[in-house]
Structure formats: structure tokens, C-alpha cells
């Protein structure tokens, strides 16, 4: 099976495929990408080189293709599968809607789903358009993810630089200017199986405030969201109707939203496995592994015959879960302490490590998910226990540079989620 992309999150997918007995072939333009190190075979073909990918697939006689954890490669995945006649969960119409922030907003309007309020502005930056903007706003490319190319703009004098940054990270050379939402954030993770739609997890997200006007990178997510009832009562059916309208049958999707005064504002879809790792929590509690399901789909065209209607529970069967992200400042990682103690904690169901001792965190990595050292995933039966476990992990982990200086940003304040109540 050919897997597109080589980042650390994709490496975890490759490992699962290996364990299933699949001969994995990973391609990525970076010769040292993590997924290549665990694949049975690897190549340096860029994931955007569709012609090169098709030639590689034919040359190696692959039986299926799967995209890793990379929005930018979903279109290549679709085109390669189409050319080779392989199963693919993403049609061009689905991609048009779910990989572009602007087209998603247009489709949402058709179904009465609100997007983030925005201001019209194009690259000409006309005075009459600028004068209508009320700051602060977020300026973002329409076709990138992981916080890449995003800026918080608080005054007009910074607007042009923010627009130029967004355009530099947009393949389509398009950007959006949206109201800066200072309210609760949720992420909704769906499983699709033969045209049946399941809300698998819904989380509350928490971001760092330490990095000024850079994109607010997550510090963690708590499961299930305190807004789950509001979402299920007001938006879930509309979302399913929209999914049906664009022809989704199989796959997995994460979609983010803000919640303000009882209103939900949808944004930022990702039609593939996610860096946040909601599939790890779902597997730990509900007993089905999206990675295995996607590997099976790539080779057979089926997500499996499991009864997800009985297995899937976005309320996590009464459990509570938390992902904790460790973010680093720029520098060279000298030493990581406390990781072994965390690995041995029975409530930690998974750890995804992106960076290691000796790795360099550059300034360009700060303000997006490339500055993430690792993510911990914890499941407990009560909030009180989860809070205790999370605080223990936060106390244990330490990351310093070669001179012994702390490289970590402040981790999530667990009391921010639950206060002192159990």
C-alpha cells in the first residue's frame, strides 16, 4: 500500500499498517521524514507530484493508496486513486467543499449552518473594504491547516503584512479575514461507514495565549465537550444533511467550531486522520481503530462490517478523556525528562511524539503545530481522577535546551477546564 506523506502522525498510521501485515510504501519529499523510517519501503517523490505518484504505484505494483495526516495531500490521493481505479473516500466534489475554508462556508450556508463572521477583502485591499473591518481579526489562507499562515491582526497597520503571509502559504493565492473569536472552541470528529454518519467524539479545545498574535496553537482537548447537547440538538442533523449532499460515504472527518452565546460557528474541516488524535480516544473507549479501518478501505473499499451504531458513543460511555500538548519555544532540544514515567501511567492510552533530543525548533515552526513536541492521551472514569492524572503528567515532563534552559511553553491549566469540582 502506498501512503502519502511522512510526518510523525502519519508514522503512527504506517506502524499500524505494518502490524496488519501490509507492505507499506511511503513517499515524501523529505528524505528524513519520520514515516519513512518505519515503512517497509520509501521514496522521495513529492506528495503533490501526481504523475510521479502514479508511476511509482505502477512500478511497485501497489494494491491501494491512502493519504496520511496532511490536508494538502488529500487532492493528490483522490487523483492517484482515480487514475489507478483504487478505492478512495474523497471525490473531487467532497475535496472542493472540505479542503477549502471558503467553499465550506458557502456549502454550510445552504444548510443553515453558520460560519465565522468575515469581512470581504481581496489582494487589492481596497480602502472601502478595509474601512469596514473591526479589529481584532484573523487572517488566514483558505487552503492550509495546522495553523500555517495564520495571523491575528489587531490594527490596520499590520493588515498588509498579515495578508502577505497568508497568501504566501496559499496554493490558490486566496485568503480570508474573519472576526477573531474569543469564546469556547469545539472539535467534532465523524466516522462515515457506507453512507452512515456517526459523531464519534466532540471536544472542548484550549489554546496557548503566550505567543502574541501568532496562530493560537492548542494546548489540549477535553472529551466530551460541555457543549455536546447543544451540538446534537441544533447542528448534528444539518451537518449530516450537508455530508449527504456532497456524497460522503466513507472516511473520517474533523471539523472545528466556535460556540458563542448559544450559537455554533463552523470552520476548518479536515477529511483525513487528524493530528489531534481523536481516533486514539475513540479506539480506547469505543473499541474501533480508524487507522485499521482506513487501511482496510484502501485495500478493499470497505471500512469494515463492525456495528458502529452499537459501538460508537460520543459521550464515551460516561468516561472522560484529555489530550495534552507540549509546545516548545525555538531552540535545540537538549534533554526530555519525565517521559518514561508518563509512558508507564496506566491511564495514558497513547503518546504521539513529534520531536526528539537534538531536534531543532526553528522560529518558522513557532505559531503552528510544528512546535508540538508530543501529545499525551488519557482516559479516566471520573473528572476528578483525570484531573489528578493530568496534573501529575504536567509536573513530570521537562524539556531543556543544551544550556539547561526551559524550552516549554506553559502547559494546559487543568483547573481552567473543571475548576475544583470533580
- Please tell me whether the overall predicted TM-score, pTM, comes out greater than 0.85 for this model: yes
Q: In what order do the strands lie in the sheet with 151-153?
A: 118-119, 175-179, 137-141, 151-153
Among 373, 378, 391, smallest CA distance to 336 is for 373
Both 200 and 154 in one domain: the answer is no
In this structure, are 190 and 311 located in the same domain?
Answer: yes
Q: Are 393 and 324 in contact (CB under 8 A)?
A: yes
288: domain range? 185-317
Summarised one tens digit per residue, pLDDT across range 145-164 is 666 788 889 999 999 999 99
Structural domain contains residue 197: yes
List all residues 6 or more positions away from 68 whose beta carbon is below 8 Å from its beta carbon.
Answer: 3, 4, 5, 6, 7, 9, 10, 13, 14, 35, 272, 273
Count of domains observed in the chain: 4
C-alpha 417/C-alpha 422 separation (Å) is 11
136: cis peptide before it, omega within 30°?
Answer: yes
CA distance 125 to 164: 11
pLDDT at 141 > cutoff 70: yes
Same-domain check for residues 83 and 149: no
pLDDT in tens, 349-393: 999 999 999 999 999 999 888 999 999 999 999 999 999 999 999
Task: Establish if 339 belongs to a structural domain.
Answer: yes
pLDDT exceeding 70 applies to what percent of the chain? 98
DSSP sequence for 123-171: TT--HHHHTT--SSEEEEETT--TTTT-EEE-SGGGHHHHHHHHHHT-T
403 in a domain, yes or no?
yes
On whether residue 111 sits in a domain, the answer given is no
DSSP string computed for 183-219: SEEEEEEEEEETTEEEEEEEEEEEE--TTTTB---EE
Give the dihedral sign, CA 356/358/359/364: positive
Answer for the pair 88, 78: CB distance below 8 angstroms, yes or no.
yes
The domain that holds 150 is classified in CATH as: 3.30.1490.20
Q: What are the helix (H) ranges across 71-111?
A: 74-84, 92-98, 101-110
**For 38-77, how does the pLDDT look when each residue is reduced to its tens digit (9 = 90+)?**
999 999 999 999 999 999 999 999 999 999 999 889 999 9
Amino acid at each position: 500500500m502506498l501512503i502519502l506523506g511522512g510526518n510523525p502522525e502519519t508514522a503512527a498510521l504506517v506502524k499500524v499498517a505494518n502490524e496488519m501485515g501490509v507492505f507499506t510504501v511511503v513517499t515524501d519529499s523529505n528524505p528524513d521524514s519520520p514515516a519513512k523510517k518505519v515503512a517497509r519501503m520509501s521514496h522521495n517523490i513529492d506528495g503533490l507530484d501526481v504523475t510521479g505518484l502514479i508511476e511509482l504505484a505502477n512500478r511497485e505494483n501497489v494494491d491501494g493508496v491512502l493519504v496520511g495526516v496532511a490536508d494538502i495531500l488529500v487532492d493528490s490521493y483522490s487523483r492517484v486513486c482515480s487514475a489507478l481505479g483504487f478505492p478512495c473516500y474523497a471525490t473531487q466534489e467532497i475535496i472542493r467543499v472540505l479542503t477549502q475554508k471558503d467553499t465550506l462556508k458557502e456549502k454550510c450556508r445552504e444548510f443553515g449552518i453558520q460560519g465565522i463572521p468575515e469581512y470581504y477583502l481581496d489582494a487589492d485591499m481596497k480602502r472601502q473594504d478595509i474601512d469596514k473591518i473591526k479589529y481584532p481579526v484573523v487572517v488566514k489562507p483558505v487552503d492550509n491547516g495546522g495553523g500555517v499562515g495564520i495571523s491575528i491582526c489587531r490594527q490596520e497597520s499590520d493588515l498588509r503584512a498579515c495578508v502577505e503571509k497568508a497568501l504566501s502559504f496559499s496554493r490558490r493565492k486566496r485568503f480570508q479575514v474573519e472576526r477573531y473569536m474569543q469564546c469556547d472552541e469545539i472539535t467534532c470528529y465523524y466516522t462515515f461507514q457506507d453512507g452512515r454518519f456517526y459523531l464519534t467524539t466532540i471536544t472542548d479545545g484550549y489554546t496557548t495565549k503566550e505567543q502574541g498574535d501568532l496562530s493560537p496553537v492548542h494546548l489540549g482537548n477535553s472529551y466530551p465537550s460541555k457543549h455536546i447537547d447543544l451540538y446534537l440538538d441544533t447542528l448534528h442533523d444539518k451537518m449530516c444533511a450537508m455530508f449527504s449532499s456532497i456524497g460522503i460515504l466513507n472516511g473520517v472527518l474533523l471539523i472545528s467550531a466556535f460556540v458563542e452565546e448559544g450559537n455554533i460557528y463552523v470552520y476548518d474541516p479536515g477529511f483525513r486522520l487528524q493530528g489531534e488524535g481523536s481516533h486514539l480516544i475513540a479506539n480506547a473507549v469505543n473499541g474501533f481503530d480508524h487507522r485499521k479501518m482506513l487501511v482496510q478501505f484502501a485495500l478493499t473499499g470497505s471500512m469494515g462490517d463492525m456495528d458502529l451504531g452499537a459501538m460508537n458513543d460520543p459521550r464515551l460511555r460516561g468516561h472522560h478523556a484529555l489530550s495534552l500538548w507540549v509546545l516548545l519555544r525555538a531552540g535545540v532540544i537538549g534533554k526530555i525528562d519525565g517521559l518514561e514515567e508518563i509512558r508507564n501511567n496506566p491511564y495514558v492510552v497513547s503518546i504521539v511524539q513529534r520531536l526528539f533530543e537534538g531536534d531543532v525548533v526553528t522560529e518558522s515552526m513557532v505559531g503552528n503545530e510544528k512546535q508540538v513536541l508530543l501529545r499525551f492521551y488519557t482516559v479516566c472514569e471520573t473528572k476528578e481522577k483525570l484531573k489528578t492524572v493530568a496534573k501529575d503528567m504536567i509536573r513530570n515532563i521537562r524539556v531543556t535546551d543544551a544550556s539547561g534552559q526551559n524550552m516549554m511553553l506553559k502547559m494546559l491549566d487543568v483547573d481552567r477546564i473543571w475548576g475544583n469540582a470533580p
